[in-house]
């Protein structure tokens, strides 16, 4: 049936004040049309699905169905989270429609700076407004349960407080432009393998304290227009069909007032989704429309249930620019955004090691190694990919800072990469949109060039890159662990440069945690730049050149070895069938609980994820959660703690005792009273970043958190009486100050 018009013309037209009357005047078909997205059986012109939306804004992920005779405009939904995903070219139009590609979520959270993260969000929100997008499908905010989750690059942290606050800041930034976000993926969506049908089996305590907690914080501290329900099951029930998650917890307990939309193709029962409070079924598959109409007619779906969904969608529609007649300019200020990005991004670069190698000397001549230096990765792939106008690689970035590069090494790499590109071209066309492009292999046997470089240059910079994409989890070998050619390169460069007393810097241009312990002693400095967005090369170069100090801190632990990771139940090294495998399982078996870590995953580590495990059990790590160096030294002192009503306030003085201007992050952790059993040794409760502190200057930061944030889950939130120890420091492993709080 045609989706845009109902057979019965009515006179009620939607306004912000007559939503109830509009709902009352709608037919069951109108209501089903609004709920089920536009990817169902329709002509190409109307159809809307990831990458195939020709209607309104080409290439976005989906739209809702307009109900023209009632003045109900469509909602245009576009991925997220690192910028807008839409087509850059349009049929019969020679203009480019580029979007700004901001850094991956993990770099944003590495800033530990809410206002910078809001500014990143604001860039994207402004472009959404200018391109006519109503809801951005992001932020991605699942907890990094395991370092190999293929979508960790979109996510913020292993810690729920940092994740929730970052999501809130990002949301506030995007939404300041009158467009909405969709917090995703709700909930416990922590692996990609068999993502449509995997059952996350997780205790109530871990759910409440970790996997739901970040969403709860984001909803408390921002007002997201929408939440996206996840593909997976949670304890045997599809997240998108769970009334407990979507209605009881999200709405009744947390007071969420926006719309819940399903992830694309989630769930198996459209009727159960509506009954659970999943308002929008995206992108809408054939048959869903009929099921929702029939469900209303045969009473399986009550009028309260359907009307609640419809009303919530209309409440969002009336807030959109589209509904209010705003005509998008289609001319976002990409140039201004690009300039802003370069300096914002530096705040999320994490200096992991520095033995007098950085910043580079003013006149240093650099030998630039590693294909990643020339073929720099801006972001991950899948729905989170963004078509941007340019990507600045490290070579160009260093060049723009006036740093002299060894030309011969450059040309060797450029030549090698061109050859690799040719070799890979036929394979690229075989890959689908959600897979990442195959990367040029590392230059094998680089000995001749490393010797040359060590003679000619003053310092070596070696880039190691890793990409990741939706639908796949990462592998242990040649992915988490470095490839043998990468290790050989680091070894060789280190040997040759160190023999001449010259320094070696490694830049990690990676989608997530990688193995560092086996090779880190060979480097004098390690700068983690994650996937830093389109202007990343400029930001990294400005930090290497000493124009500014890095001030990022880790939002996730770098373990000594993968075997130390607490979430050992994870689909390790499953063959790369990705989404196909999910679809096979899903289509053939629907619900087939027999293969551990594929059909179901037991979260046996419970709440001991990341530093909650390492710190509590005294497991050595390569770089702890919260860690990050700068080009200066800081001293923390004068910790003051007081409580007023429900608010705990901590003050700490931070002094820059070195000789470089930089920012510092102060982190506050809590330790439960001694007699409370089975608790993590420390848990993050707050943080603050200083302003840029000039050498010799100090700032007192103030960090507040509600007493109720100390509650723990025991079939309900419980606040434990006794002596809580509150620590302050600059990482989970460096907490020099503490004070007691009696509850």
- Write out the residues near ligand BGC by the rule CB under 6 A: 50, 61, 79, 137, 184, 263-264, 383, 470
Residue 247 or 383: the one with the smaller Cβ distance to ligand BGC is 383
Whether residue 263 lies in the annotated active site: yes
Q: Read out DSSP for 2-22?
A: -SS--SS-------TT-HHHH
Report the distance separating Cα 10 and Cα 26, nearest Å: 9
Q: Read out DSSP for 218-232?
A: HHHHS--SEEEEPSS
Chain Cα centroid distance, residue 445:
36
Instruction: Please give the radius of gyration of the chain, using alpha carbons only, rounded to the nearest integer.
Output: 26
Closest CA to 195 of 158, 163, 227, 238: 238
Give yes or no for a contact between 100 and 338, defined as CB atoms under 8 angstroms apart.
yes
Written as six digits, the tokens of 585 are 């399982």
Q: How far is the CB of 205 from ligand BGC (least distance, A)?
A: 27
Q: How far is the CB of 680 from ligand BGC (least distance, A)?
A: 30
Catalytic residue among 49, 130, 263, 524: 263
Q: How far is the CB of 316 from ligand BGC (least distance, A)?
A: 17
Q: Position of tokens 């010797």? A: 451
Q: How far is the CB of 224 from ligand BGC (least distance, A)?
A: 14
Report the distance separating Cα 137 and Cα 180, nearest Å: 9
Residue 79 or 486: the one with the smaller Cβ distance to ligand BGC is 79
Q: How far is the CB of 390 from ligand BGC (least distance, A)?
A: 24
Residue 61 or 318: the one with the smaller Cβ distance to ligand BGC is 61
Report the distance separating Cα 75 and Cα 288, nearest Å: 18
Residue 470 or 492: the one with the smaller Cβ distance to ligand BGC is 470
Residue 184 or 466: the one with the smaller Cβ distance to ligand BGC is 184
Give yes or no for a contact between 465 and 439, defined as CB atoms under 8 angstroms apart.
yes
Report the distance separating Cα 263 and Cα 268, nearest Å: 12
Q: Which residues, other chains included, contact 722 with Cβ-Cβ below 8 Å and sequence gap of 6+? A: 672, 673, 674, 675, 676, 742, 743
Q: How far is the CB of 612 from ligand BGC (least distance, A)?
A: 26
Q: How far is the CB of 521 from ligand BGC (least distance, A)?
A: 39
Residue 103 or 140: the one with the smaller Cβ distance to ligand BGC is 140
Chain Cα centroid distance, residue 564:
24
Written as six digits, the tokens of 668 are 């506050």
Closest CA to 143 of 238, 204, 208, 196: 208
Give yes or no for a contact between 454 and 499, defined as CB atoms under 8 angstroms apart.
yes
β-bridge pairing 737-742 and 723-729: antiparallel
Residue 370 or 382: the one with the smaller Cβ distance to ligand BGC is 382
Residue 366 or 388: the one with the smaller Cβ distance to ligand BGC is 388
- E strands, 430-522, are 459-465, 503-509
Give yes or no for a contact between 441 and 126, defined as CB atoms under 8 angstroms apart.
no
Q: How far is the CB of 1 from ligand BGC (least distance, A)?
A: 25
Residues with catalytic roles:
263
């Amino acid at each position: 049936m045609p989706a845009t018009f109902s057979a019965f013309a009515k006179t009620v037209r939607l306004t912000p004040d007559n939503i109830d009357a509009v709902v009352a005047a709608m037919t069951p078909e109108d209501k089903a049309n609004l709920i089920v997205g536009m990817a169902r059986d329709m002509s190409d012109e109307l159809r809307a699905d990831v990458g195939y939306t020709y209607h309104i804004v080409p290439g976005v992920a989906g739209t809702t169905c307009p109900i023209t005779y009632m003045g109900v405009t469509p909602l245009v939904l576009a991925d997220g989270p690192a910028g807008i995903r839409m087509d850059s070219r349009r049929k019969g139009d020679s203009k480019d429609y580029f979007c700004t590609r901001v850094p991956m979520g993990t770099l944003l959270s590495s800033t530990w700076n809410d206002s910078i993260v809001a500014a990143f969000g604001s860039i994207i929100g402004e472009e959404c407004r200018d391109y006519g997008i109503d809801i951005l499908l992001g932020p991605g905010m699942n907890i990094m349960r395991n370092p190999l989750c293929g979508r960790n690059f979109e996510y913020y942290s292993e810690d729920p407080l940092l994740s929730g606050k970052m999501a809130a800041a990002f949301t506030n930034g995007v939404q300041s432009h009158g467009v909405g976000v969709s917090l995703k993926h709700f909930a416990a969506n922590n692996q990609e393998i068999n993502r449509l049908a995997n059952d996350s089996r997780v205790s109530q305590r871990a759910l409440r304290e970790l996997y739901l907690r970040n969403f709860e914080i984001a909803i408390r501290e921002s007002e997201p227009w929408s939440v996206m329900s996840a593909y997976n099951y949670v304890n045997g029930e599809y997240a998108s069909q769970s009334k407990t998650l979507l209605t009881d917890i999200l709405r009744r307990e947390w007071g969420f007032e926006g719309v819940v939309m399903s992830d694309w193709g989630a769930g198996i029962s459209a009727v159960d989704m509506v009954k659970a409070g999943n308002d929008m079924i995206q992108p809408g598959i054939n048959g869903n429309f009929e099921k929702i109409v029939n469900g209303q007619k045969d009473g399986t779906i009550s009028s309260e249930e359907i009307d609640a969904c419809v009303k919530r969608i209309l409440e969002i529609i009336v807030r959109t620019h589209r509904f209010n007649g705003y005509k998008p300019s289609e001319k976002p200020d990409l140039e201004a955004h690009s300039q802003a990005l370069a300096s914002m991004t530096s705040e999320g670069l994490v200096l992991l090691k520095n033995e007098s190698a950085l910043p580079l000397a003013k006149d240093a001549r650099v030998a630039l190694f590693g294909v990643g230096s020339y073929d720099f990765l801006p972001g991950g792939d899948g729905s989170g990919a963004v078509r941007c106008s340019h990507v600045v690689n490290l070579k160009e970035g260093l060049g723009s800072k006036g740093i002299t590069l060894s030309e011969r090494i450059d040309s060797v790499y450029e030549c090698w990469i061109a050859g690799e590109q040719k070799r890979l071209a036929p394979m690229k066309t075989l890959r689908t949109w959600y897979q990442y492009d195959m990367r040029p292999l590392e230059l094998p046997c680089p000995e001749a060039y490393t010797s040359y470089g060590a003679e000619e240059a003053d310092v070596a910079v070696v880039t190691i890159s890793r990409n990741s994409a939706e639908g796949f989890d990462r592998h242990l070998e040649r992915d988490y662990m470095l490839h043998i050619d990468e290790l050989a390169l680091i070894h060789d460069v280190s040997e040759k440069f160190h023999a001449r007393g010259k320094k070696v810097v490694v830049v990690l241009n990676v989608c997530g945690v990688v193995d560092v312990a086996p090779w880190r002693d060979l480097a004098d400095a390690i700068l983690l730049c994650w996937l830093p967005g389109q202007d990343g090369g400029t930001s990294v170069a400005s930090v290497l050149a000493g124009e500014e100090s890095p001030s990022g801190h880790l939002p996730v632990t770098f373990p000594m070895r993968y075997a130390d990771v607490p979430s050992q139940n994870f689909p390790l090294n499953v063959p790369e069938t990705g989404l196909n495998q999910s679809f096979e399982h899903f289509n053939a078996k629907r619900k087939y609980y027999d293969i551990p870590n594929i059909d179901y995953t037991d979260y046996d580590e419970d709440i001991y994820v990341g530093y909650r495990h390492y710190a509590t059990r005294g497991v050595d790590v390569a770089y702890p959660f919260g860690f990050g160096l700068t080009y200066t030294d800081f001293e923390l002192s004068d910790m003051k703690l007081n409580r007023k009503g429900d608010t705990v306030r901590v003050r700490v003085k931070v002094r820059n005792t070195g000789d470089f201007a930089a920012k510092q992050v102060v982190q506050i952790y809590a330790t439960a009273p001694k007699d409370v059993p089975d608790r993590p040794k420390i848990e993050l409760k707050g943080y603050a970043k200083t302003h840029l502190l000039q050498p010799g200057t100090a700032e007192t930061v103030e960090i507040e958190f509600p007493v109720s944030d100390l509650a723990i889950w025991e079939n309900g939130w419980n606040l434990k009486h006794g002596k809580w120890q509150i620590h302050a420091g600059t990482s989970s492993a460096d907490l020099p100050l503490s004070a007691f709080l009696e509850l």
